[in-house]
């Protein structure tokens, strides 16, 4: 298990800032009528996980079901296939779901967490599903893929055991809330996979932005929210404290560029989750609001069910209604296009927003033969640069296209574009077999339908350097790795 101890940081796609994991509240037992259902559900989840042995492979930052997963993506998939939506593939966030359970009280279906590096900012680095008899099933590493391991077996499991969480039965049997609230949530959840994100609001095509989704869902139960903008909806009903949220409450969010102003809304669905129209790539989805992006941009919540739905004058719970500047989103390369509403919502953390090319027909500036210099500089900035949602030379923060722009700029070459799609129009096409140092290599991802969303710099030896994401930063990767093979689109030669 050598690789497990060195590469088991399994936060898939997004890793956020340090969070603390509560250990005090222990799991509540299911009632007798529920226990049989809980045990059956756990068995089904475990069966799904076991059926992937020999079929699925470990890929740390890829979620490509049912073929490739990191550790937490593997768990997410096994639960999702059995009707339990954990709403996150982030290991650190999964470590806060449900309730704490002591090691000596583990039951089948509990999620077990490990921390092989207690000195870093990540509370946990690996997780697996408890299957009984002191064993877990987990996506271990690139060498072993899916393993069944004894918690008292190898030193890794004994030394690095951190905590465990129980999501069954709480994610199966919701606690009683307003029946109207439950209906609203059911309607919103029913639109997952059916409705699409967009404007203008259209009930016939089921096209909604965040506030449009909440307006529609409440309309179906006879409640008129009176507005299809998040800022106006935030004035309805009564304020509710975060710890008192009930199903059907409205949860309001800001974004990176709105200076705390409300630009998005979702329906609270219980279990620290919201249902919302997340963006053009993500569509309607569930998201966990415990930490990370959604926690940082949480503004307020309002209850409009079973209260007087009049506008509130509570200035501490509402914000101004100015339209925010459209922002670059987490894990994406460029902002989505502004909406047509006077108070537009921006996409909130889409899974993989596509880069938008700049409106320019300019040709790249004449360049010199500097491939080796570009390659060396890319190598030199690996330990200095970090992934960033916006281009910032002062802090050395770049997305993938921003890093390419910066490296070429330092060598006197103006790419004239900080988007991958725009950079892919520069220079001349070059085949993969003819790559040379300094060539630009372009990739899609699992949700971009083949469209270019990432830029990397070829540095020789079949390797590229890329600003890959918040959790991994700037990395060097072999083009024969599965993700890079599957998402390779094209390459361009800027340097002649």
Q: How far apart are CA 14 and CA 4, in angstroms?
A: 20
- What percentage of the chain carries pLDDT values higher than 70? 80
DSSP letter, residue 251: E
Structure tokens at 93: 């966030």
How far, in Å, CA of 396 to CA of 467, rounded? 11
- Tell me how far apart the alpha carbons of residues 387 and 33 are, in angstroms, rounded to a whole number: 50
pLDDT tens per residue, range 152-201 = 999 999 999 999 999 998 777 654 444 799 999 999 999 998 999 999 99
What percent of the chain stands above pLDDT 90? 57
Confidence of residue 429 (pLDDT cuts 50, 70, 90): very high
Domains defined for the chain, CATH in brackets: 2-166 (3.90.1720.10), 179-303 (3.90.1720.10), 371-493 (3.90.1720.10)
Q: How far apart are CA 392 and CA 138, in angstroms?
A: 39
Helix axes 371-381, 400-410, angle to 10 degrees: 120
C-alpha closest to that of 247 among 208, 283, 286: 286
User: What DSSP string describes 371-414?
Assistant: HHHHHHHHHHHTTT-EE-SS-BTTTTEE-HHHHHHHHHHHTT--
Q: What is the pTM of this model?
A: 0.49
For residue 496, list its beta bridge partners: none
Neighbours of 297 (CB within 10 A): 20
Q: How far apart are CA 179 and CA 184, in angstroms?
A: 9
Lowest mean pLDDT among 46-55, 65-74, 336-345: 336-345
Secondary structure (H, E, C), 49-60: HHHCCCCCEECC
41/464 Cα distance (integer angstroms):
44
The burial class, CB within 10 Å (0-12 / 13-18 / 19+), for 143 is exposed
Cis before 472? omega within 30 = no
For residues 214 and 267, is the Cβ–Cβ distance under 8 A?
yes
Show the DSSP H helices in 53-161 as ranges. Answer: 71-80, 91-94, 155-160
Q: pLDDT tens digits for 56-90?
A: 999 877 888 998 999 999 999 999 999 898 988 88
Between these two residues, 298 and 316, which has the higher pLDDT value? Answer: 298
CB 164 within 8 A of CB 115: no
Tokens of 142: 């690139």
| pLDDT for the residue 447 | 78
Residue 138 and residue 71 in contact, taking contact as beta carbons nearer than 8 Å: yes
Instruction: List, in order, residues 6 or more apart from 152 with CB less than 8 Å away.
Output: 134, 158
d(CA 417, CA 409) in angstroms, rounded, equals 11
Q: How confident is the model at residue 366 (pLDDT cuts 50, 70, 90)?
A: very low
Give the model's pLDDT for residue 205.
Answer: 93
Confidence at 150, pLDDT banded by 50, 70, 90? very high
pLDDT (mean) for 308-320: 35
Report the C-alpha gap between 240 and 317 in whole angstroms.
9
User: Could you tell me which residues are beta bridge partners of residue 29?
Assistant: none
SS3 at position 236: coil
Calpha distance 263→282 (Å, rounded): 17
What residues form DSSP beta bridges with 488?
Answer: 443
Beta strands of 142-203 (E only): which ranges? Answer: 145-150, 161-166, 196-197
């Amino acid at each position: 298990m050598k690789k497990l101890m060195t590469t088991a940081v399994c936060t898939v796609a997004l890793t956020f800032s340090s969070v603390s994991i509560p250990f005090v509240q222990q799991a509540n037992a299911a009632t007798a009528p529920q226990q049989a259902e809980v045990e059956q559900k756990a068995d089904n989840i475990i069966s799904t996980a076991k059926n992937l042995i020999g079929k699925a492979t470990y890929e740390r930052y890829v979620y490509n079901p049912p073929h490739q997963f990191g550790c937490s993506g593997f768990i997410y998939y096994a639960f999702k296939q059995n009707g339990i939506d954990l709403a996150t593939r982030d290991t650190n966030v999964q470590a806060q779901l449900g309730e704490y359970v002591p090691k000596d009280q583990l039951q089948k279906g509990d999620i077990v967490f490990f921390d092989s590096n207690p000195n870093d900012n990540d509370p946990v680095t690996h997780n697996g599903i408890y299957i009984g008899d002191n064993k877990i099933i987990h996506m271990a590493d690139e060498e072993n893929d899916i393993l069944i391991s004894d918690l008292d077996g190898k030193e890794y499991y004994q030394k690095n055991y951190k905590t465990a969480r129980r999501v069954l039965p709480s994610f199966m049997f919701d606690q009683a809330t307003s029946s109207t609230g439950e209906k609203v949530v059911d309607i919103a959840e029913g639109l997952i996979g059916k409705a699409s994100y967009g404007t203008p609001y259209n009930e016939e095509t089921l096209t909604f932005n965040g506030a449009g989704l909440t307006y529609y869902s409440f309309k179906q139960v006879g409640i008129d929210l009176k507005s299809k903008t998040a800022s106006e909806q935030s004035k309805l009903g009564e304020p509710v404290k975060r710890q008192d949220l009930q199903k059907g409450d409205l949860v309001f969010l800001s974004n990176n560029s709105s200076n705390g102003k409300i630009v998005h809304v979702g329906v609270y669905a219980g279990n620290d989750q919201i249902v919302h129209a997340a963006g053009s790539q993500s569509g309607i989805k569930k998201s966990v609001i415990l930490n990370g992006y959604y926690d940082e941009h949480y503004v307020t919540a309002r209850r409009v069910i079973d209260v007087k739905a009049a506008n509130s004058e509570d200035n501490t719970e509402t914000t101004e209604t100015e339209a925010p500047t459209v922002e670059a989103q987490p894990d994406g390369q460029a902002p989505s296009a502004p909406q047509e509403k006077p108070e537009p919502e921006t996409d909130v953390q889409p899974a993989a927003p596509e880069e938008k090319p700049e409106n320019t027909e300019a040709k790249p500036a004449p360049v010199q033969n500097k491939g080796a210099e570009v390659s060396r500089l890319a190598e030199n900035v690996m330990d200095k640069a970090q992934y960033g949602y916006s281009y910032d030379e002062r802090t050395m923060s770049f997305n993938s296209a921003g890093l390419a722009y910066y490296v070429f700029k330092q060598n006197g070459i103006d790419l004239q574009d900080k988007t991958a799609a725009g950079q892919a129009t520069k220079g001349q096409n070059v085949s993969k077999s003819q790559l040379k140092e300094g060539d630009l290599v372009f990739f899609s991802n699992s949700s971009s339908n083949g469209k270019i969303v990432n830029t990397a710099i070829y540095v020789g030896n079949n390797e590229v350097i890329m600003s890959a994401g918040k959790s991994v930063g700037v990395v060097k990767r072999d083009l024969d790795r599965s993700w890079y093979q599957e998402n390779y689109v094209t390459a361009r030669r800027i340097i002649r």
